[in-house]
Structure 1
């Protein structure tokens, strides 16, 4: 009977280990692979934001006047904020990955521990039979001989699997340390994000104080933009009207002699916009996030997308994708808060579903300038780029 128990236990060990290997091989991998790709993407976004911030800081240091310096400093801070947001996303993704790996590792450990515990218990029971009893019971002596021969064959396998258990325990400790580092990285990224948002708010407050003298002119132009919004039939019509009014304004600006218009004199060094080819070659996504709908795709609401829709984190920093002039800023029919930025040579950008807006109509912005933040109820942002009224595939521009 004891011999039969040993054989049964050994069979259980073999079946359990083969089942654990099969479970590990069949474990769902796509989700973990997607998380790893998301982690790589977040780290790339963070690095690009850091490089952009460094370039803008150098630009601010080389600025010849306060307007250029403040604009570049604000854009640099906005890039740092986006970098911190990407770091937070990377840290959270890393925590999720480690948690998933820990769960799998615990499952493997449990699969390996169970049979070993049962086998050890069976061996302990066998050793309780006194050896002296084998001298008076020949059958017991036969069983003892069989037992020792079986143990001599089984022990190497037991030692190998015990070593495997020790390896699993060491892996668990390494995963625990990785989780601790990921949590510390998340805390540090959140601290940096809070500090940089505070710095940006202070810089914007100073800029608003300096620009207060232009508030009357800005109010007139804002009223004109709102009137266009009321007349427009839809968002496409609004963008067409703004494009036409922008063409008229540029034509008037080319006339000789003085020309008074809203915003005249404000940030004069920023009046020069990017050239048309610069817009196409250096277009920037206004917010860090995952693309959920591309140009021409059918969205969840059933209409064909004219731009990119990105899933973003709550309160994500939104920036100007290219230098230009703010032509519309405010709420618009079912799109939430929107911003329309005119670039040069017929290029126009539309950003929708902002929770807060930090620019006004008539403001001239550099590429990367902070223009608002996303919300928490619906953390998605849509951006459209048009050239002379025709939708342009942004994904092709940004690679």
Structure 2
């Protein structure tokens, strides 16, 4: 599959393979179920556990959002991008491994928040490296293959091993709790091993030469970018649309498992449906990238938004495991494609020598969105006492994002 990619492109793609294990095992599947079990044992009601999970995601992403602009601006200096990437990659992997050493729901939640900071901050610089590893014409393809390979390999292989231990570990004397903890350690090891090509073969090509007082100069550059916002008007209009629709995507990813548990879908059905999602998402991410060549990334993003509106409606009315499988399949068709095309679409619009700074803004919009979505879900679930209204509230985010894309984001991908 990767024979037509350069060494740098393949190494960059393999980081998606490396960190996608975290996305499914920690964010979407096994950790949320384990957290709900520990919280229940600690006397926490299912709806309140959903709310705590939502608030924890919001707090952690708020911290990343506050840090992102200055981190991105500092990362534009020569050699800084890889240094910062390494720091947050190490923070993410160590804290992920640390999840294996607690049985208290509150401690688990705090460590999880640290993993979110490491994982999300490393991705600021990983995304920004896209301009260093490939050409503008190949960005949609390289970005889409990254997400696709992440789904079929990075997510599926460690996820299959993990759920096999959870479901069948008792037959060989492994308790479900121990199996879950082994899955957390496996995720950390997988993340480390497959990041090695990225560390060895990806270099920062576009940069600003080092100078004295880099922190102060970075704040000054951020200020100048804001003051000259008219020069980048179309970039920021896209970011506003992205703010809303990616908020919905991330909320569905983070809250789907705890929601399924709350409406009575069994743990086994949840895990197997999420496994199906990873398998189906693999070809769909590549299909999105190929179709973007013909109809444009903007059109494909709008198709994805429409599918997610349907997902919210299905989720609100969901009453059985079969309907959860339908929801999981719909998510699989568009999740990776929307994330990949958003990244490459944005990469084409920004000045390359300021890539980290602009990806800092990109991450700010994504992370502030990730604060609002889970908080919105948590608030509606808590107020109504019914998680279904939390899912329904997410539909509004896709409607607003889609409206901005249609009315204000240009069809010309170079904007």
Question: TM-score interval w.r.t. the shorter chain?
Answer: under 0.3
Whose helix fraction is larger, Structure 1's or Structure 2's?
Answer: 2
Structure having the higher Rg = 1
Whose strand fraction is larger, Structure 1's or Structure 2's?
Answer: 1
TM score, norm. by length of structure 2: 0.26
TM score, norm. by length of structure 1: 0.27
